[in-house]
Amino acid sequence: MFRTIQLSAAAILVAIVALYVLAGFTDIEPGEVGLKIKKIGSNKGMQQDTLDTGLWWIEPITYDIASYDTRFKQYTIEDLPAQTKDGQPVLVDMSLELGLVDKNVPNLHERVGKDYFDQVVYPATRATVRNMTSNEMSDQIYTGEGRKNVQDGIDAVLSAKLEEFGIVVNVNLRDVQFTDNDFKKLLEQKAGASQRVIIEQRNAEAAEQTAIKMANLAEGEKQKRIKAAEADREERRLAGEGERLKQEETAKGILAVKKAEAEGVRLQVMAYGGNGQTYASVRWAEEMGPNVKVYGFPTGAQGTASIMDLNGVFKGVFPTGGK
């Protein structure tokens, strides 16, 4: 009997130990972060050291474990009421991508808890949307550019509000619906007129660019012709310059020949004692024809009437016929 009681007590003890050990195991999934909350002893409450992905054993009596999914999740907010700067009521549809910063999860858990979307995100989004739409006129919000301004403003302000909680947000403004149908038609007409003006401006700009292109082409053709004319003129100038230089060289050659001939004459004159008259007479005799006789008249004796035939004397001395 006593032995049975001992065995039963041992089995109970083993079961308690097993439950204790099993209770201490915590599995942190990928994309999650684990938090330790101390229940007894000193320094109770949220612990700043977190648990990464993996299997952990944490003493179960002293600590509670809470896990947060930090991965981005999609949240949709529809028909959020607001109004424009000129007082037109609108309904805003948007989507939010929310994620958590691992190191800030302990602060989020301590201040808000896992219900952070309803407690923090939604109220901040509603207030921010109302503020941003009230800064824009209806016709601006109706256009794509105006909606982008609203979306960028919501994204910037909301990100700043949620940053202190370690919440990261990306905003996508899906639609802004005007509830007044008559006013919506006016906006459509105005937007259509504005679009036509933009189209006309673009067409005018395109026509202007075409005109500039044609003018540039014409100017290019003009410059091309000018360059061709300049090249032709330069070619002609160079050809004329070559002919001039050729003529100059020819003239220089002729001048050199004449100078040589003159020098020859000078030397011949010098050979006759520098007497030009004597040289001229000799040249005259050289140039005479073969049938011309040369006679000498005695000088110095009065009354001399004899004439000497000097043609035989000079025969062979001076060539005739210029030879």
Structure confidence by residue, pLDDT tens digits, 95-146: 999 999 988 998 899 899 999 999 999 999 999 999 999 988 888 888 777 7
Highest mean pLDDT pick, 171-180, 259-268, 308-317: 171-180
Token duo for residue 289: 């024809």
Distance between CA 320 and CA 6 in Å, rounded?
175
Residue 320 has pLDDT above 50, yes or no: no
Task: Please check the confidence at residue 305 and state whether its pLDDT lies above 50.
Answer: no
Per the CB < 8 A criterion, the answer to whether 53 and 28 are in contact is yes
**Res 17: pLDDT:** 76
Query: Could you tell me if 50 and 105 are in contact, meaning their C-beta atoms sit under 8 angstroms apart?
Result: yes
- Output the pLDDT for position 318: 47
* Six-digit token string for 286: 């050289």
Q: What are the residue ranges of CATH 3.30.479.30 in the chain? A: 73-179
CA–CA separation, 167 vs 123, rounded Å? 14
- pLDDT of the residue at 236: 81
Reported as a single tens digit per residue, the pLDDT across 191-248 is: 665 656 566 677 778 778 888 888 888 888 888 888 888 888 888 887 877 777 787 7
Those residues whose C-beta lies under 8 Å from the C-beta of residue 275, and which sit 6 or more positions away, are 269
Under a CB-based contact definition with an 8 Å cutoff, are residues 26 and 57 in contact?
A: yes
Residue pair 318/285 in contact by the 8 Å Cβ criterion: yes
Whole-number pLDDT of residue 192: 62
Task: Name which residue leads in pLDDT, 309 or 70.
Answer: 70
Radius of gyration (Cα) for the chain, nearest Å?
Answer: 61
- Res 43: pLDDT: 82
For residue 172, is pLDDT > 70?
yes
Pairing of strands 32-38, 63-69: antiparallel
Instruction: Out of 3-7, 21-25, 142-146, 175-179, give the one with best mean pLDDT.
Output: 175-179
Selection from 2, 3, 106 nearest residue 51 by Cα: 106
pLDDT of residue 193: 59
Q: Output the DSSP codes for 277-321.
A: HHHHHHHHHHHS-TT---EE---SSTT----EE-HHHHTTTS-ST
pLDDT category of residue 285 using cuts at 50, 70 and 90? low
- Nearest CA to 84 among 131, 49, 37, 127? 131
**What value, to the nearest 5°, has the Cα angle with vertex 263 and ends 261 and 266?**
115
Helix axis angle for 181-271 and 276-287, nearest 10°, is: 90
Q: Please check whether residue 108 is in contact with residue 68, taking contact to mean a CB–CB distance below 8 angstroms.
A: yes
CA-wise closest residue to 29 among 65, 52, 49, 53: 53
Q: Please identify, in words, the CATH class of the domain defined by 73-179.
A: alpha beta
Provide φ and ψ at 111, rounded to 5°. Answer: -90, -35
User: DSSP string of 82-129?
Assistant: EE-TT--EEEEEEEEEEEE-GGGHHHHHHHT-S-HIIIIIHHHHHHHH
pLDDT value of position 120: 95
The whole-angstrom separation of Cα 255 and Cα 261 is 10
State the pLDDT at residue 234. 82
Distance of CA 204 to the CA centre of its chain: 26
Shortest CA distance to 51 belongs to which of 109, 99, 120? 109
- pLDDT-wise least confident of 79-88, 195-204, 253-262: 195-204
Section 80-86 average pLDDT: 91
Between the alpha carbon of residue 288 and those of residues 67, 269, 279, 309, the distances in Å are 143, 19, 14, 16
In 3D space, the residue among 185, 176, 96 whose CA is nearest the CA of residue 136 turns out to be: 176
